[in-house]
Structure 1
Amino acid sequence: MNSVDVLLINPPQNAELKTLLELHGPPMASMYLAAYVRKMGYNPKILDMDLDNLSFEDALKYVESTSPKILGITAFTSTVKTAYKLLDAIKERIKDIVTVIGGPHVTFMPDEALSHQGVDIVAIGEGEETLYELIEAYEKNKDLSEVKGIFYKNKNGEIKMTKPRPFIQNLDEIPFPARDLVDYERYRWNGVLEAPMLTTRGCTFQCQYCSSSEMMGRRYRMRSVQNVIDEIKEVQEKYHVRDIEFIDDTFTLNMKRASEVMKAIISEKLDVRLSLSSRVNTINEELMQQLKKGGTENIYYGIESGSQRVLDLMKKGIKLEQAEAAVNLAKKYGIKVLGSYILGYPGETPDEMNQTIKFSIKLNTDYAQYSILTPFPGTPIYYELDKKGLIMTKDWDLYTVLHPLIKYEAFGYPASLVARKLTEAYRRFYLRFDYIFRKRYMLPLIFKTLRRSIKLARMMAKSYSRNVIGF
């Protein structure tokens, strides 16, 4: 085995949540990082613990067998506690290994991360160039103070912060994700192999519940149309993938560029089934026509609320009328719509939650996804609630968008009401006679979704009871 310069580990999800939702896709962050350092001449490996349900001991043995110089983990809020425990265990057994953790959570909580013995370095924000420079620093005995965009502990155990790292402006310089470093054929859902693709980075909006603009910048950075087409061709040639999911926060933020991507797909005669996200105010009929011609089958709208007052509190920047128009436009062109909604936003009343449920039913989208407001670190709403002492728990395992985490008594109702509204929303949307009749070919999936929502309610009730007892 060639010497491994960096091993990138994808930590396991919450086991109960993974079983419940059956969600698991390829570790895009690790694949991007691996591709970049490989391009720069280094040898990376990826270990996806989720894919094989690996235990800590399994991971430790793999680390020992590969002997990487640097070990990196990307963690989200819901997986960060597991990541900390894993790094602590690895550091306990392999004292001289250099450990790096990155991702949205630690970008905004670096001191928390470095309080763990297993964490040497925290990578802030975009990680490709940072990881490469860290490998270079250790290879050439450079001081870590020269590496931009990190927090680290010096020899005296003091936490140091380096200069901020500028965002990568030319995204075409980043190679395609290293799909060959994972067992890509195994990332199937219901027998279908899908290829997630990130064609843009950054967000110009400032929704209060989202940290994307802080994590990836407020400038919308776009890969060239040809670069996107080349990646589609690559996954089709290597993995015979037809289903492509553009996982950009908002694929249609620049409508002209989105249209150009579609025109190129049509021109190249690429046989694809596309899924993508749009804001309801970044779409028009001309673009919708192009999306349809380009093979778009599913469009995701973050509608979030049926109350204009709550949308304004969220600083969502949309109107209810725009949501209706965008949904109707997609229906006109035969594109399936998934509408996403948030319940329990701070200051939202029970009646406004009901308005959201009613509005989602009125829109009659093909699918609806409901979640509970989760104050993720890095979001404006997190800092606002934390300052007021209104965050009920910082048990990050519960930050799954399925648990009520705010002291809702301050707004006049208990957290249990929000949990009930989540279940009620799923039941009322999916158990309508006209919906069941229209989607009768999907009855097994509909009832499976409902069973999950009931399990979710039970799971949240148990967790909520534990939280109340613990505080």
Structure 2
Amino acid sequence: MNSCDIVLVKPGSQKALYGDLSDFKLTGLEPPLWGAILAGFLRGKGFDVLLLDAEVEGWSWEETARQIKNTNPVLAVVSVSGSNPSASTMNMVGASAIINNLKEIDPNIPTAISGLHPSALPEETLREEASDFIIRGEGFHTFPKLIEALKAGEEEFPIAGLLYEKDGREIVNPQPELLADLDSLPMPAWDMLPMEKYRAHNWHCFDDISKRQPYAVLYTSLGCPFKCTFCCINSLFGKNTIRYRSINSVMIEIDELVNRYGVRNIKIMDEMFAMNEKRVTELCNRIIERNYDLNFWAYARVNTVSQRMLAKMKQAGINWLAYGFESGSKRVIKDVTKGYDTDKVMEVVGQTYAEGIYICGNYIFGLPEDDYKSMNETLALMFEINAEWSNIYSAMALPGSKLYDMALENKWALPESWQAYSQYAYKTLPLPTKYLSGGQVLAFRDYAFDAYYKNPAYLNMINSKFGEETMKHITGMAEKRLDRKYAVI
């Protein structure tokens, strides 16, 4: 007798993915948004659902497998959709280990892997992993049918979005349709998670670094209409598109997070939130009416924000905007179809600062046209913007991105394991460019990180805006040295 219909599991290992930075608690602990959405949806369909977060519980992969076995599910699912496009592939290490351990202790439990990475590489994932099923896409149409089929004892599964093996043959069903109405989804199953354990990223709470909990994430839209070469986000949806929730639906969830869970720090997960001025203004007005004291952050683009939008977001408590500046080189930006006017960057930066909004700048070293000259241009832009926080990445050919296809076509060196797609792991290996090796790119990225966070102009700015405690937090962080296998020149 099964004790539940489906158990959804978030894998994860802070130490494996973030190295010594995990000890410093630099990183956020993100609640599994996709797991919570699917759990709420399936519960609403009448299924008996459990949701486990191995990362926040600190379970080893072996312990996670034991926890799954104890639930005795009809179907065990490991979901590798992370909190951003780069957070899925690197979690395949944990997903694989959990499935393998579960197969050792109870091979009779049907297993599946879902999320962004298997949606980008469905057939490869089926061949490489011990999982019985691979789920491509969001899962809203696939999971209910699969659970019912398993409960009925069926052995063939003509279900859209599902891949499996039968008698040595690969069965690849077609891409599922997208859910037409996002408002048809119930509240994510936050009640199934230890909400008190999640914490915001350090920079999100620079105004009070000691109060990073409680913390939550939500989305107001799914997908992205843009086609940046390095991004893989739309692999989950099968096409470049964006779908919106109604403002009423979003507000109901915000009310729930604030009033039931005491949340103040919230990440808006939308791949592109600050885009439609009318919609952003309407949502912000509704938040302002509540008179909540909230601390949001959200994604924005240089070519989508306006002064009026910025002012309204600040009023609503959107205190941080993450801009994808990516590179200081016009040539590099044009090559990756980023699609914004680089001459507008400092104008938008000035407008953002003028409204009292902090900036999280996202930069990528090692895009295909990068050489030392262009990477130094990016570093110079970082110093000029002097953002309160900068995410400093090296270019990864993430499965599902055009960059990944280019890497295969051109036989560029790819990381030797999924874990090496992490930005901070020992075996991290970014792409080579047309002019530099992956090791050279990684070495420059680590040099840029060190130079930025030890820059006196930056530290003085942090001290003046947030105080000495936050500045000391950053100087302590900057002392951490990542152990790298490939960061050599």
Same fold (TM over 0.5): yes
Tell whether 2:302 aligns with 1:280: yes
Which structure has more relative contact order (CA 8 Å, sep 6+)? It is: 2
My pick for the range that moved more, 128-137 or 168-177, is 128-137
Q: What do residues 205-238 of structure 1 show as CA deviations (whole Å, max 9, x unaligned)?
A: 1000001233233221000001111100001111
Q: Map of 1:70-81 to 2, 5 A cutoff?
A: 70-75=75-80, 76-81=88-93
Tell whether 2:164 aligns with 1:152: yes
Q: 1:65 to 1:416 in 2, by over 3 A?
A: closer
My pick for the range that moved more, 272-281 or 413-422, is 413-422
1:206 touches 1:213 (CA, 8 Å); kept in 2? no
Q: Distance in 2 between matches of 1:69 and 1:363?
A: 53
My pick for the range that moved more, 242-251 or 301-310, is 242-251
1:373 touches 1:401 (CA, 8 Å); kept in 2? no
Give 1:428's aligned amino acid. A
Q: Map of 1:314-393 to 2, 5 A cutoff?
A: 314-393=336-415
Offset at residue 2 of structure 1 (A) = 8.5
Q: What do residues 385-409 of structure 1 show as CA deviations (whole Å, max 9, x unaligned)?
A: 111111243411100134333345x
My pick for the range that moved more, 179-188 or 375-384, is 179-188
Residue number in structure 1 paired with 2:456: 433
Q: Distance in 1 between matches of 2:439 and 2:175?
A: 42
Residue number in structure 2 paired with 1:413: 436
Q: Distance in 1 between matches of 2:301 and 2:215?
A: 23
Q: 1:68 to 1:27 in 2, by over 3 A?
A: same
Q: Distance in 2 between matches of 1:10 and 1:99?
A: 14
Q: 1:251 to 1:346 in 2, by over 3 A?
A: same
Offset at residue 93 of structure 1 (A) = 2.4
Q: 1:400 to 1:412 in 2, by over 3 A?
A: same
Q: Unpaired segments of 5 or more residues in structure 2?
A: 81-87, 201-209
Q: Distance in 2 between matches of 1:400 and 1:57?
A: 22
Q: Map of 1:203-282 to 2, 5 A cutoff?
A: 203-216=224-237, 217-282=239-304
Q: What do residues 273-318 of structure 1 show as CA deviations (whole Å, max 9, x unaligned)?
A: 2211111111001111111111111111011000011001110001
1:13 touches 1:78 (CA, 8 Å); kept in 2? no
Q: 1:101 to 1:339 in 2, by over 3 A?
A: same
Q: 1:164 to 1:414 in 2, by over 3 A?
A: closer
Question: What's the Cα RMSD here?
Answer: 2.1
| Secondary structure of the corresponding residue to residue 422 of structure 1 | helix
Offset at residue 113 of structure 1 (A) = 2.1
Q: 1:180 to 1:344 in 2, by over 3 A?
A: same
Offset at residue 117 of structure 1 (A) = 6.0
2:2 touches 2:73 (CA, 8 Å); kept in 1? no
Give 2:444's aligned amino acid. K
Q: Distance in 2 between matches of 1:381 and 1:128?
A: 29
Residue number in structure 2 paired with 1:404: 429
1:32 touches 1:128 (CA, 8 Å); kept in 2? no
Q: Unpaired segments of 5 or more residues in structure 1?
A: 466-471
| Secondary structure of the corresponding residue to residue 187 of structure 2 | coil
My pick for the range that moved more, 89-98 or 111-120, is 111-120
Q: Distance in 2 between matches of 1:64 and 1:397?
A: 25
Q: What do residues 89-143 of structure 1 show as CA deviations (whole Å, max 9, x unaligned)?
A: 2123222211110111111222232224631111112123322221122234556
| Secondary structure of the corresponding residue to residue 421 of structure 1 | helix
My pick for the range that moved more, 298-307 or 321-330, is 321-330
1:88 touches 1:116 (CA, 8 Å); kept in 2? no
2:221 touches 2:273 (CA, 8 Å); kept in 1? yes
My pick for the range that moved more, 321-330 or 340-349, is 321-330
Q: Distance in 2 between matches of 1:14 and 1:181?
A: 22
Q: Distance in 1 between matches of 2:191 and 2:116?
A: 25
Give 1:100's aligned amino acid. A
| Secondary structure of the corresponding residue to residue 206 of structure 1 | coil
Residue number in structure 1 paired with 2:122: 110
Q: 1:244 to 1:413 in 2, by over 3 A?
A: closer
Q: 1:257 to 1:84 in 2, by over 3 A?
A: same
Question: May I ask how many residue pairs the two structures share in their alignment?
Answer: 458
1:340 touches 1:368 (CA, 8 Å); kept in 2? yes
Identity, % of aligned positions: 26
Give 2:447's aligned amino acid. E
TM-score of the superposed pair, with normalisation by structure 1:
0.92
Residue number in structure 1 paired with 2:221: 200
| Secondary structure of the corresponding residue to residue 335 of structure 2 | helix
Tell whether 2:321 aligns with 1:299: yes
My pick for the range that moved more, 348-357 or 234-243, is 234-243
Residue number in structure 2 paired with 1:450: 478
Residue number in structure 1 paired with 2:73: 68
| Secondary structure of the corresponding residue to residue 47 of structure 1 | strand
Give 1:198's aligned amino acid. Y
Residue number in structure 2 paired with 1:32: 37
1:342 touches 1:370 (CA, 8 Å); kept in 2? yes
Q: Map of 1:179-190 to 2, 5 A cutoff?
A: 179-189=190-200, 190=210
Give 1:208's aligned amino acid. T
2:137 touches 2:175 (CA, 8 Å); kept in 1? no
Q: 1:117 to 1:362 in 2, by over 3 A?
A: closer
Q: Distance in 2 between matches of 1:267 and 1:187?
A: 27
Q: Distance in 1 between matches of 2:48 and 2:136?
A: 22
Residue number in structure 2 paired with 1:468: none
Q: Distance in 2 between matches of 1:397 and 1:375?
A: 13
My pick for the range that moved more, 121-130 or 132-141, is 132-141
Q: Distance in 2 between matches of 1:285 and 1:117?
A: 49
